[in-house]
Amino acid sequence: MATRLTVPITEDQIRALKVGDQVLLSGVIYTARDAAHKYMMENFIKGDCPASEQAVYEELKQGLAGGVIYHCGPVVKNHDDGRYEFVAAGPTTSIREEPYEADVFAHFGLRAVIGKGGMRDKTLAGCQDSGAVYLHAIGGAATLIGERCTEVLDVFKLDFGVPEAFWKIRVEDFPCVVTMDSHGSSLHETVQADSRKKLEELLAR
């Protein structure tokens, strides 16, 4: 049975999750990819926030506390009335954010990231230290996932381009699986180790 989580999420709720748990996520989350993570690191985490970026910082500082980042470059429709709609919203490969994610956890109080492909040691350590998890979304189901993104509330740094901007969205029963937990377990490492062992066995024949 899937665990239902509503943003903002508490650390206790995250610590209760284990690798393999299914999650249905609801609430307000943000998309962020390569440019967005680099921007957060350079402008907010490494030093004092520039005055020109203060409004975005205040938005993210509040919105990411107990919150969720989705590694996603959505396909977005802009309606005549100015309203945005996600047409497709599949996960992007997460490993590109490995240099940043643990710092984002610690600085913003982020509780989860959603993506595909998993992440590595630095992020896994960040999950343990900050009380966070990595949630794996279904690759190849962009349109289906887009239907779970029920409302686009706002967008920030659109000058980065549509895929790289911060999209503030509301999701309902967004399906995902815990593949890296706050206890040091990573399904990605387990699968890699098992695959390596199987390959060695095959090559030894």
Burial class of residue 41 (count of CB atoms within 10 Å of its CB; 0-12, 13-18, 19+): middle
Q: Please identify which of the residues 37, 71, 136, 188 carries the catalytic annotation.
A: 37
> Is residue 50 reached through a cis peptide bond, with omega within 30 degrees of 0 on the bond before it?
no
Which structure tokens are listed for 204?
């030894």
Is residue 79 flagged as an active site residue?
no
Catalytic positions are 37
